[in-house]
Each structure stands twice: as structure tokens, then as C-alpha cells.
């Protein structure tokens, strides 16, 4: 196995600055309020949260602007963190609505879930979501986790599928968000499904610039990135095929407190879900990562206008 050279201190420092920006480092360090919880929103208000990566934030903003255009009162509570943080906030009423992804959400709720295809995953999720929560329509748009390597590393080691890593995994460092180390489809899933035992796991960011920089400079030899991340194409990375479906279908789905899912709310969000495609997610991510760094409000507004969903 041929390893790339390690990340330089200069590159690491630059990546750290970018990573903090991408993860909302300049915003609130306690988005749910003191103690990780807050009082529920008023009955006529939908408090919308988001995870701590740009795609999820712009989806939350799309939901927010869509509901506001229908006269629904909205509060924004973005950049909360990982599912391990925001799911309890949904169940205790701290937030009412968040964009999520079907496969990983199902496996978070039911560690024994075995469904991997889109429709079976969604059907199982509908049954598994605990009160007071429910899910609305899933979108065709899908953002799956992927095991990604550089193009050079793939060529030198003849890598096409995740299983091809088995003979060399013991010499490799794998990078990803900290929760990937324990999630069922993360490091435990890769070990169970493909027999991969890595030399080391390195906690980076959630599909952000730290991970991209670490791959490029060889700090890690494989990493968890999202399939809708334009950095995969832009950097010539290779997303290894997953023929054993370690990563289940991950269609975008609104996860909402059932008491806030009025007919107006459902109809508005269902219209977004019916329009949203995987290609849209790629382009939204590309726009957010562009040189002018537009804010999520502007990107969401422009997308809604393009889809005829502004009013």
C-alpha cells in the first residue's frame, strides 16, 4: 500500500480555520440554550433546527422560507450539531422540525434495522419514529455517506469497492466526524459488513474542509464524505462502491413534532420534497462552497424562486 505524505502544519492550520467556519464556529456555542435544552416554542410557531453542516442548514432554511411564505410563524435554531444532539431536542420539544436522512435516522432509532432500499427504509422509519415525532414525505434527493479515497490512492491499490480495502485497512488511518466511530453504519458497520479493521480512526469534521485536506495531504487514507459533496469531483476523489449496502438509502425527510404538522405545514413541505433532487443538493453545496460564500438565506431564496415555490 502506498501512503501519501502527512498533512503539513500550515495546511492543517488553514483547514482548521475553514472547518470552524463551515461548522458554524463563529456562531452560538450553545444553540439549544443553557443545559442543552430550552422551552418549547409557542403553539403557533414552528421552531426549525439544523445539523452542523451547510447542506442541512440550507435545507432547514428552505423549509423555513417555505413555511413563512404560507403565513406560518417560524423560529430558526440552526447549527445544533449531530443527530445525537438534535434528536433529544426534538423529543423534548426544544425544536419542532429538522431536515434529516431516512437511512441513518432509522438506524439511529432502531439499531437492529436491516432495511437498505429507499422505500422499505422509509416504510420502516414511519413505524419506528417515536411519539411525539413523525416524518413527512421523503424526497427523491438522497445524500449517502461514502468511503472516499484519493484518485491516486485508488489507482495505486486497485480500489473500486469498499471491500477492496480489506487487505490494507490495518495500515490505514480513517477519518470522519467523531460520531462515525460508533454509529452502526460507521466504523462498526464497516468492520461487520466488510471485515475492515483500520489502524486508527481520526476525528475530523462532518464532510467538510478538514476531511478534504486530510485526504489530500495523506493524514488519512480513507474518509467519510457525503455523496452530494462537490469536493469529491473537484478533487478527483473516488467514492468506493458499497455493494453490500452498509450505507442504507438516505433520502431527505422532514422530521417534525406531530403537533406542529398542520395541513398547511404538511402541504408546504410536501411541495418542497416533491421537487428536491440529488442534483439540487450537489448544486446547493457547490454554491455554498463558492468563492463568494453566499449565506444560506440567499441560496435558499434563489432555489425556491427557481422551483416556483416562493409564494
Kindly state the DSSP code that residue 213 receives in the 8-state scheme.
H
The enclosing domain of 111 has a CATH number of 3.40.190.10
Mean pLDDT within 141-152: 96
**Domain end residue (candidates: 187, 206, 239):** 239
Cβ neighbours for 108, distance < 8 A, ≥ 6 positions apart: 83, 84, 87, 183
When divided into structural domains, the chain yields a total of: 2
Separation between Cα atoms, residue 117 and residue 143, nearest integer Å: 13
Tell me: do 227 and 268 sit in the same domain. no
Pairing of strands 222-226, 145-150: antiparallel
- Supply the pLDDT for residue 296: 96
**Whose CA is closest to 213, among 183, 234, 239?**
234
Domain of 57, in residue numbers:
31-142+249-306
Tell me: do 100 and 152 sit in the same domain. no
**Domain end residue (candidates: 239, 258, 291):** 239
- At residue 10 the predicted structure's pLDDT band, cuts being 50, 70 and 90, is very low
**Domain end residue (candidates: 239, 264, 282):** 239
Ranking 12-16, 136-140, 176-180, 253-257 by mean pLDDT, the lowest is 12-16
Tell me: do 138 and 35 sit in the same domain. yes
Question: Omega of the bond prior to 132 within 30 degrees of 0, cis?
Answer: yes
Tell me: do 70 and 13 sit in the same domain. no
- Supply the pLDDT for residue 270: 98
- Supply the pLDDT for residue 310: 82
The enclosing domain of 172 has a CATH number of 3.40.190.120
**Whose CA is closest to 301, among 293, 292, 310, 289?**
310
Separation between Cα atoms, residue 126 and residue 286, nearest integer Å: 31
Mean pLDDT within 45-51: 97
16 inside domain: yes
- Supply the pLDDT for residue 292: 84
Tell me: do 119 and 266 sit in the same domain. yes
- At residue 207 the predicted structure's pLDDT band, cuts being 50, 70 and 90, is confident
Amino acid at each position: 500500500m502506498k501512503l501519501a505524505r502527512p498533512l503539513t502544519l500550515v495546511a492543517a492550520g488553514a483547514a482548521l480555520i475553514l472547518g470552524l467556519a463551515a461548522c458554524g464556529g463563529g456562531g452560538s456555542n450553545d444553540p439549544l440554550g443553557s443545559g442543552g435544552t430550552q422551552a418549547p416554542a409557542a403553539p403557533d410557531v414552528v421552531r426549525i433546527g439544523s445539523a452542523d453542516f451547510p447542506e442541512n442548514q440550507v435545507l432547514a432554511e428552505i423549509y423555513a422560507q417555505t413555511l413563512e411564505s404560507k403565513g406560518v410563524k417560524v423560529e430558526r435554531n440552526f447549527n445544533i450539531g449531530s443527530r445525537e444532539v438534535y434528536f433529544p431536542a426534538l423529543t423534548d420539544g426544544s425544536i419542532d422540525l429538522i431536515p434529516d436522512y431516512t437511512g441513518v435516522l432509522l438506524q439511529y432509532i432502531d439499531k437492529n434495522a436491516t432495511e437498505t432500499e429507499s422505500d422499505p427504509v422509509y416504510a420502516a422509519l414511519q413505524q419506528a419514529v417515536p411519539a411525539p415525532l413523525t416524518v413527512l414525505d421523503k424526497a427523491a434527493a438522497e445524500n449517502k455517506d461514502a468511503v472516499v479515497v484519493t484518485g491516486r490512492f485508488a489507482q495505486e491499490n486497485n480500489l473500486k469497492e469498499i471491500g477492496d480495502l480489506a487487505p490494507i485497512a490495518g495500515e490505514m488511518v480513517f477519518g470522519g466526524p467523531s460520531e462515525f466511530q460508533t454509529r452502526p453504519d460507521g466504523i462498526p458497520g464497516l468492520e461487520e459488513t466488510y471485515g475492515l479493521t483500520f489502524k486508527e480512526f481520526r476525528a475530523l469534521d462532518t464532510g467538510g474542509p478538514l476531511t478534504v485536506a486530510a485526504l489530500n495531504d495523506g493524514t488519512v487514507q480513507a474518509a467519510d464524505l457525503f455523496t452530494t459533496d462537490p469536493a469529491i469531483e473537484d478533487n478527483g476523489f473516488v467514492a468506493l462502491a458499497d455493494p453490500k449496502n452498509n450505507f442504507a438509502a438516505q433520502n431527505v425527510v422532514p422530521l417534525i413534532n406531530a403537533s406542529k404538522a398542520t395541513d398547511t405545514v404538511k402541504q408546504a413541505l410536501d411541495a418542497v420534497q416533491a421537487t428536491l433532487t440529488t442534483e439540487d443538493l450537489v448544486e446547493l453545496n457547490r454554491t455554498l462552497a463558492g468563492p463568494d460564500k453566499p449565506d444560506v438565506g440567499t441560496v435558499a431564496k434563489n432555489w425556491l424562486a427557481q422551483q416556483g415555490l416562493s409564494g
